[in-house]
Amino acid sequence: MNVILSIKPKYANAILSGEKKVEFRKASFKQEIEKVFIYSSAPEQRIIGYFTIDEIISDTPKNLWEEFNDVGSIDKFSFFEYFSNKSIGFSIKIKKVNKFRKSLDPKSVIQDFVPPQSYRYCDEIKAA
C-alpha cells in the first residue's frame, strides 16, 4: 500500500534535497506503507516524488522535538504550534527519496483527485 501526503512546498523540497530527514504528523497510517508520495500543496499543487519509510516513532511532541529537531527542518514555534493540544505525535523517518524528473499533475494520475487533509491511500504512481 502507498499513500499521498500533503506537504507544504518548503518542507516537501527540504525532503527532496535531503535536508529534512523526518516528517512530523499528528496521525499515523493504519496499514503497512511501501511508498509515501509527496504532494507539494499550494501554490505548487504537484506530486514531486516519493520516499520510503525507515520507521515511524510515536511519542510526546516534547520527546519528538528533543530527538528530531535537528533533522526536521522546522522551527520550534511552528513545531509546537502544529502539535498544540496533542499528547502524542509521530515522526516518520525517511529512508530513501526519489525526486520525479517532471512533477505530476495529480488529476492526471488519480481520478477525481482532491488534496488530502493529512494523507490518502493510493496505488503506485509512475512518473513520466
Domain boundaries, the chain: 2-122
Q: Indicate the pLDDT class of residue 73, thresholds 50, 70 and 90.
A: very high
Q: Indicate the pLDDT class of residue 128, thresholds 50, 70 and 90.
A: low
Calpha distance 125→123 (Å, rounded): 6
Give me the percent of the chain exceeding a pLDDT of 90: 95
Higher pLDDT, 117 or 128: 117
- The string of pLDDT tens digits covering residues 31-57 is 999 999 999 999 999 999 999 999 999
Q: Which neighbouring-strand residues pair with 51?
A: 36, 97
* Mode of pairing for the β-strands spanning 46-59 and 89-104: antiparallel
CATH number attached to the domain at 2-122: 2.30.130.30
Calpha distance 26→61 (Å, rounded): 9
pLDDT at 118: 87
The average confidence (pLDDT) of the chain is 96
pLDDT at 126: 85
- The string of pLDDT tens digits covering residues 91-117 is 999 999 999 999 999 999 998 999 998
Cβ atoms 79, 40 nearer than 8 A: no
Calpha distance 118→2 (Å, rounded): 14
Please determine, for residue 127, whether its predicted confidence score (pLDDT) is greater than 80.
no
- Which helix (H) or strand (E) segment holds residue 118: the answer is none
Tally of helices (H runs) and strands (E runs) in the chain: 4, 6
